[in-house]
């Protein structure tokens, strides 16, 4: 009973943090519209903070999601593992390409954002379709993971390299004055929000901790993309967006750890029964 209450308390705190981040973001956007404190800049080491708060968390999330995939063959977990890896890889490139132009940083970061949303969506679609790889052997699953990770590195790395050479740009303007960058981020936000709604509905029916933390992580990722798009590189709203992404990564990790713990427990119990 105590553990149940503690779990409920942490879930409420987690929801409160999401509401606080979104509320603060709305306030900062309104202040920018009113031209109040719009020029304030927070000069912090973006590369170091991204490395410290994004990469270790997402590496752990990718690892444990891959472990769950190896245990149950869930394409949802495969998609989650690849998605957080893509986001971490894009964020790492964004922070440490110190000699690159702005477009190169944007391509690295936004490619990671787009890949994350697409891979999560693929996992959700395959889950809805009832497709899984439960009967596939460990070797097949490892090959799938290896090819998926390698594909992410190659595609994001190639896009970033082409941007570095000036052969590819997300800063180009499409018809109607809308930039390619805005379209890519818009697609990512739409997918994040749509997935969050789907998983909230699943959580309401199942009361699964995994889907609770997963849906909140999606909301934070969507908020992060929106807020970063609203201000300058070192503006308060952009930093709030990064904090939102940092928190979203932690929520993904919590959801994956819950799934891993439950799957290991079920696997152990089945082993004892046999």
Q: How do the domains of the chain map onto residue ranges?
A: 20-25+46-267
User: Count of CB atoms within 10 A of residue 142's CB?
Assistant: 14
CB 241 within 8 A of CB 226: yes
Spatial CA neighbour of 100 closest among 45, 171, 181, 163? 163
Question: What is the spatial distance between Cα 159 and Cα 108, in angstroms, rounded to a whole number?
Answer: 7
Q: Which of the four CATH numbers 3.30.450, 1.10.3470, 2.40.128, 1.20.1070 does domain 20-25+46-267 have?
A: 1.20.1070
| pLDDT of 255 | 92
Spatial CA neighbour of 105 closest among 238, 196, 213? 238
Q: In angstroms, how far apart are the furthest CA atoms of the chain? A: 68
Token output for 158: 């190639």
| pLDDT of 166 | 83
Q: What is the pLDDT along the chain (274 residues), one digit of tens a residue?
A: 444 444 777 888 899 999 999 999 999 888 887 777 666 666 777 778 888 888 889 999 999 999 999 988 888 999 999 999 999 999 888 877 766 678 888 898 999 999 999 999 999 998 888 888 777 788 898 999 999 999 999 999 999 999 888 887 887 877 667 788 889 999 999 999 999 999 999 999 988 889 999 999 999 999 999 999 887 777 888 899 999 999 999 999 999 998 888 877 665 554 443 3
CA pseudo-torsion sign 17, 19, 23, 29: positive
Burial of 118 (0-12, 13-18, 19+ CB in 10 A): middle
| pLDDT of 274 | 38
Sequence-distant (≥ 6) Cβ neighbours of residue 29 within 8 angstroms:
227, 230, 237
| pLDDT of 1 | 44
């Amino acid at each position: 009973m105590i553990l149940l209450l503690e779990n409920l308390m942490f879930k409420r705190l987690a929801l409160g943090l999401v509401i606080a981040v979104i509320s603060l973001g709305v306030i900062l956007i309104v202040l920018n519209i009113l031209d109040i404190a719009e020029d304030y800049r927070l000069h912090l080491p973006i590369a170091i903070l991204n490395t410290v708060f994004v990469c270790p968390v997402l590496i752990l999330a990718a690892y444990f999601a891959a472990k769950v995939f190896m245990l149950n063959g869930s394409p949802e977990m495969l998609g989650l593992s690849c998605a957080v890896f893509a986001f971490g890889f894009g964020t790492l490139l964004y922070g440490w390409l110190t000699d690159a132009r702005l477009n190169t940083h944007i391509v690295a970061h936004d490619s990671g954002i787009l890949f994350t949303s697409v891979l999560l969506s693929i996992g959700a679609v395959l889950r809805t379709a009832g497709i899984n790889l439960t009967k596939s052997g460990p070797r097949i699953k490892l090959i799938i993971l290896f090819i998926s990770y390698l594909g992410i590195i190659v595609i994001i790395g190639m896009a970033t390299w082409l941007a570095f050479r000036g052969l590819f740009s997300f800063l180009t303007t499409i018809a109607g004055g809308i930039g390619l960058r805005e379209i890519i981020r818009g697609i990512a936000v739409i997918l994040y929000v749509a997935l969050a709604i789907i998983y909230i509905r699943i959580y309401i029916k199942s009361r699964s901790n995994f889907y609770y933390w997963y849906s909140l992580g999606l909301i934070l990722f969507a908020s992060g993309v929106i807020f970063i798009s609203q201000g300058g590189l070192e503006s308060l709203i952009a930093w709030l967006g990064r904090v939102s992404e940092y928190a979203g990564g932690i929520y993904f990790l919590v959801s994956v750890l819950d799934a891993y713990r439950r799957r290991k427990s079920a696997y152990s119990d089945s082993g004892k029964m046999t």
